[in-house]
Structure 1
Amino acid sequence: MEINALGLSIKDSEKGIEKLNILLSNFQIYYQNLRGLHWNIRGKRFFDLHVKFEEMYNDSQLKIDLIAERVLTLGGRPMHTFAEYIENNSLKIGKNISKDTEAIQLIVDSLSKLLEIERIILNESAENNDEGTNAMMSDFIKEQEKTIWMMHAWMEE
């Protein structure tokens, strides 16, 4: 088995890079959805949601950078074109969403899909002793599960 400078299997790292690039693509779409929600939200909850969506897209931007840097750390090349992002995306693309409940539902649905991808990466990185990727996925999952819970609480009115 060929090993890279990190002491990880090159073959396993290449598979991890592919999955991380898929996650990166989906996060880019999630990020852009959040920007659109931030710009287009209307109604009585505008002030609260406008600020919340900005907080969320800033957080997503940080996660996008972490994912891309992990791809580089593993010896890969992060995807970086919109064509690649769209080709590898599995999230719903939100267009012209201005209603609060529709916006929150898009976020919940997107986070649920991101969690699916992250759990696959989590399991595979654990099997491959890739602690760096595993820890990152664990952190993402914990935070996103809490966000989903909060979004559900918000929708309960």
Structure 2
Amino acid sequence: MKTNILGLPVKESEEMVKELNVLLANFQVYYQNLRGIHWNIRGKRFFELHVKFEELYGDAQLKIDMVAERVLTVGGTPLHTFEDYMSNNKMAVGKNISQDEKAVQLIVDSLTDLLKIERTILNKSNEINDEGTNSMMSDFIAEQEKTVWMMNAWLEKDL
């Protein structure tokens, strides 16, 4: 089996790049969703949510960079055009959402979609002993599961 400089199988690493790029594209859509609800939120919970949405989009921006750098580390090229993002997107695009519960539900739905992609990557990276990707996905999953729980608590919904 041919391996790359990281000691990972070449063919499977190429597949990992594709999966990571799907995650990258979806994180970009999530990021834009967060920016939109941050800008457009209205109502009595404005101050609380405006700050929270800014925190979340700041975190998403860091994760976008981490995913892109992982793509490069594994030997690929990160997607970087809106056309590529939209052609690989698997989540709802939030447009003109200003109502608090709809905004928070968009976050829950978006994170649920990201978690599905991340778990697929985690399973595949585990199969090829790609510990760098495993570790990143595990960290993302743990953080996002907690955020989903907190957002559902805010919405007064059970998991």
Is the TM-score greater than 0.5? yes
Deviation at 1:10, TM superposition (A): 0.6
Tell me the residue number matched to 2:77. Answer: 77
| CA positional deviation for 1:48 | 0.5
1:26 maps to a residue whose letter is N
The equivalent residue for 2:61 is 61
Superposition pairs of residues 2-151 of structure 1, within 5 angstroms? 2-151=2-151
Question: Which 4+ residue blocks in structure 1 deviate beyond 6 angstroms?
Answer: none
> What TM-score, normalized to structure 1?
0.99
Q: How far off its partner does 1:153 sit?
A: 0.5
Post-superposition Cα deviations, 1:23-69, rounded to whole Å, max 9, x if no partner, equal 00000000000000000000000000000000000000000000000
Q: Once the two structures are aligned, what percentage of the paired residues are identical?
A: 69
Shift of 1:156: 1.1
Instruction: Tell me which amino acid in the other structure corresponds to 2:43.
Output: G
RMSD, matched Cα:
0.8
Q: In structure 1, what is the equivalent of residue 155 of structure 2?
A: 155
In 1, the alpha carbon distance for the partners of 2:122 and 2:131 equals 9
- How many residue pairs end up in the alignment? 157
Unmatched runs of 5 consecutive residues or more in structure 2 = none
Structure 1 stretches lacking a partner, 5+ long = none
Whole-Å Cα distance in 2 between the matches of residues 22 and 114 of structure 1? 10
Taking the aligned partners of 2:156 and 2:140, their CA distance within structure 1 comes to 25
What is the identity, as a one-letter code, of the residue corresponding to 1:32? Q
